[in-house]
């Protein structure tokens, strides 16, 4: 195993453990179980999304100098935080690929509305829907800066990660965001 591969593996493990710690901290800060009724969904932390845990960032693209970053967040996560997550992930990826600069396009905002019922053994059962806010940003990487809009990858990643770590979202704001998203999905706030 080369030293570069080992460092990337170690870095990935540190990020994974940090995401796990944030998730556990989010559970504890909500005053109990994630599944308790009436509680707000936790604010999305900086983590990679997957099929089991859709909250976080994902990359798509051709693997060249352009990349699309999608950040998916809970109903209580502000769009501004999702933009920071997407940009931090892009900057971090660029630094890992030895790209010194990146330029981000305008973010696009969408919502993903969850199911309100499921059918089990022929009977319909109501469930609490999982609604998500989604932000998508197209990014271009470069080894040299050619435009004032170019951002340095390492410095931007460090600054945004520090902002995300220090940021707190008041409960009132979270509740308003949840109600706003429920309305956007055609449901009355619960």
So where are the chain's domains?
3-184
* Radius of gyration of the chain, Cα coordinates, nearest whole angstrom: 18
More confident residue, 65 or 188: 65
Indicate if the alpha-carbon torsion angle 159, 160, 161, 166 is positive or negative.
positive
Q: Is residue 4 over pLDDT 90? A: no
Distance, CA of 50 to CA of 72 (rounded, Å): 10
Spatial CA neighbour of 86 closest among 47, 125, 124, 39: 47
139, 66 Cβ separation under 8 angstroms: yes
Q: Is residue 29 over pLDDT 50? A: no
Determine the average pLDDT of the residues in 9-15: 45
List the end-to-end C-alpha distance of the chain, in Å, as a whole number. 52
Q: What is the pLDDT of residue 73?
A: 96
pLDDT band at 48; cut points 50, 70, 90 = very high
Q: What is the pLDDT of residue 30?
A: 34
Does the predicted TM-score (pTM) go above 0.95? no
More confident residue, 24 or 171: 171
Determine the average pLDDT of the residues in 126-145: 92
Determine the average pLDDT of the residues in 7-18: 45
More confident residue, 5 or 50: 50
More confident residue, 32 or 74: 74
Q: What is the pLDDT of residue 189?
A: 66
132, 54 Cβ separation under 8 angstroms: yes
Per-residue CA distances from 19 to 10, 66, 74, 112, 150 (Å): 14, 26, 15, 23, 28
Alpha helices, DSSP H, located in the chain: 3-29, 79-96, 153-166, 171-184
Q: What is the pLDDT of residue 38?
A: 55
Other residues' Cβ atoms within 10 Å of the Cβ of residue 154: 12
65, 116 Cβ separation under 8 angstroms: no
Torsion angles phi and psi, residue 109, rounded to 5: -115, 130
Most confident of 9-13, 55-59, 124-128, 183-187: 55-59
In the numeric block, the tokens 């945004």 are attached to: 160
Mean pLDDT of the chain: 82
161, 124 Cβ separation under 8 angstroms: no
């Amino acid at each position: 195993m080369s030293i570069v591969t080992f460092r990337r593996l170690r870095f990935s493990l540190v990020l994974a453990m940090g995401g796990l710690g944030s998730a556990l901290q989010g559970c504890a800060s909500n005053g109990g179980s994630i599944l308790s009724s009436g509680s707000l969904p936790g604010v999305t932390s900086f983590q990679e999304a997957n099929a089991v845990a859709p909250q976080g960032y994902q990359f798509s693209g051709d693997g060249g100098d352009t990349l699309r970053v999608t950040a998916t967040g809970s109903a209580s996560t502000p769009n501004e935080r999702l933009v920071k997550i997407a940009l931090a992930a892009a900057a971090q990826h660029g630094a890992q690929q030895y790209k010194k600069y990146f330029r981000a396009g305008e973010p696009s905002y969408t919502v993903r509305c969850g199911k309100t019922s499921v059918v089990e053994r022929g009977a319909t059962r109501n469930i609490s829907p999982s609604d998500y806010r989604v932000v998508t940003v197209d990014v271009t990487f470069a080894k040299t800066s050619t435009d004032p809009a170019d951002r340095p990858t390492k410095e931007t990643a460090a600054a945004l990660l520090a902002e995300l770590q220090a940021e707190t979202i008041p409960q009132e704001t979270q509740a308003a965001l949840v109600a706003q998203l429920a309305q956007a999905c055609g449901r009355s706030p619960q």
